[in-house]
């Protein structure tokens, strides 16, 4: 079976293990983690907003549309959260928001499990 080659191995193979390149990649990875965290938090906030709109809607179509949008935002947050590990204090903040979204979706009859 052929061993999987990591793209960073190819990168370093052509450039050597220059400390400047290593630091540049570490900086990019850190920025990526910050962006991923911000995305997850934004999706949670968006899901909460959609739930609130659905709860206050006096039109069933509007409520259904916003419940669907909230579910999609929640799903996106969970998918991106599963792609890595955040520090514990960050994880608690995100977990609280996800719990809030789950409770609101349950209230709206949309969320069916963990």
Q: Which of 30, 6, 33, 8 is nearest to 21 (CA)?
A: 8
For 56-90, the pLDDT digits (tens) are 999 999 999 999 999 999 999 988 887 666 676 77
Classify residue 64: in a domain, yes or no.
Answer: yes
End-to-end alpha carbon distance in the chain: 37
Q: How far apart are CA 95 and CA 28, in angstroms?
A: 25
Classify residue 2: in a domain, yes or no.
Answer: no
Residue 30 has pLDDT above 70, yes or no: yes
Classify residue 1: in a domain, yes or no.
Answer: no
* Residue 31 belongs to domain spanning: 7-107
Is the separation of the CB atoms in 70 and 54 below 8 Å? yes
pTM, full prediction = 0.74
């Amino acid at each position: 079976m052929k061993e999987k080659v990591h793209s960073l191995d190819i990168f370093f193979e052509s450039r050597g293990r220059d400390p400047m390149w290593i630091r540049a990649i570490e900086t990019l990875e850190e920025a990526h983690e910050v962006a991923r965290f911000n995305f997850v938090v934004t999706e949670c906030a968006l899901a909460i907003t959609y739930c609130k709109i659905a709860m206050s809607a006096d039109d069933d179509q509007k409520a259904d549309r916003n419940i669907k949008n909230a579910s999609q935002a929640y799903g996106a947050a969970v998918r991106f959260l599963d792609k890595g590990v955040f520090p514990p204090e960050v994880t608690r903040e995100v977990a609280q928001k996800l719990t809030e979204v789950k409770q609101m979706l349950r209230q709206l009859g949309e969320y069916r499990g963990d």
